[in-house]
Amino acid sequence: MRFAFLLSALFALSACGLQPMYAGGGSGAVAQGLAGVDVPAIEGRAGWLVRNALNDRLGAAGTAQPRYRLDVRLDDELEGLGVLRDDTIARERRTLRARYQLVDVASGEILLDATAGSDAGIDVVSSEYATIAAEQTALENLARDVADRIVTRVALALRPNQ
């Protein structure tokens, strides 16, 4: 009885149409497509961090002749949230938003036009150095998170048989 149930479950699962996105490993269609994405320089410190994170993730399958260009514009915002009685800020929120376009280099066609973003809360403490360090760490983490989100969407766009 159990065997029959497991066998029917396997058949049902195989018929659902799910396919692994990274089938074929580094030589698969998605990995090769990601390796062919060029990321031009992005303005500012946040841009430098996001570009490096993108290049790390896109180049995991090696390098290929650039077939695509990923244009990214960032909006990095730091705002005070919690205000104490003496008008000092107790909490900050750092937000990093990206608007990006995946462009086919040969035709100039925009294959993907999307946004990604993330935010982090920061405690403002009495040590100014600790607060600045927390703000920088938050930016580094946000850059990695935004890059992960962008690469996932680009990989979905480059999938064969979408």
Give the span between the Cα atoms of 126 and 135, in whole angstroms: 14
> What would the pLDDT profile of 63-99 be if each residue is shown by its tens digit?
668 899 999 999 999 998 877 778 778 889 999 999 9
On whether the pTM is more than 0.85, the answer is no
Alpha-helical runs (H) found in the chain:
2-14, 29-35, 44-58, 128-158
**Which residues are CB-contacts of 69 (< 8 A; sequence separation ≥ 6)?**
37, 38, 39, 40, 102, 103, 105
How high is the pLDDT of residue 158? 85
Domain limits of the chain?
A: 23-158
**Which residues are CB-contacts of 21 (< 8 A; sequence separation ≥ 6)?**
30, 155, 156, 159
Give the span between the Cα atoms of 69 and 51, in whole angstroms: 12
How high is the pLDDT of residue 43? 94
**Using an 8 Å Cβ cutoff, are 119 and 97 in contact?**
no
How high is the pLDDT of residue 109? 94
Whether 62 has a pLDDT exceeding 80, the answer reads no
Give the span between the Cα atoms of 84 and 102, in whole angstroms: 44
Give the span between the Cα atoms of 50 and 141, in whole angstroms: 10
How high is the pLDDT of residue 13? 60
Q: Which CATH superfamily is domain 23-158 in?
A: Lipoprotein like domain (3.30.160.150)
**Other C-beta atoms within 10 Å of 19: how many?**
9
How high is the pLDDT of residue 96? 96
- In angstroms and rounded to an integer, the radius of gyration of the C-alpha atoms of the chain is 21
pLDDT average, residue stretch 29-53: 88
Sheet holding 89-104, edge to edge: 37-38, 68-83, 89-104, 110-123
Give the span between the Cα atoms of 74 and 97, in whole angstroms: 6
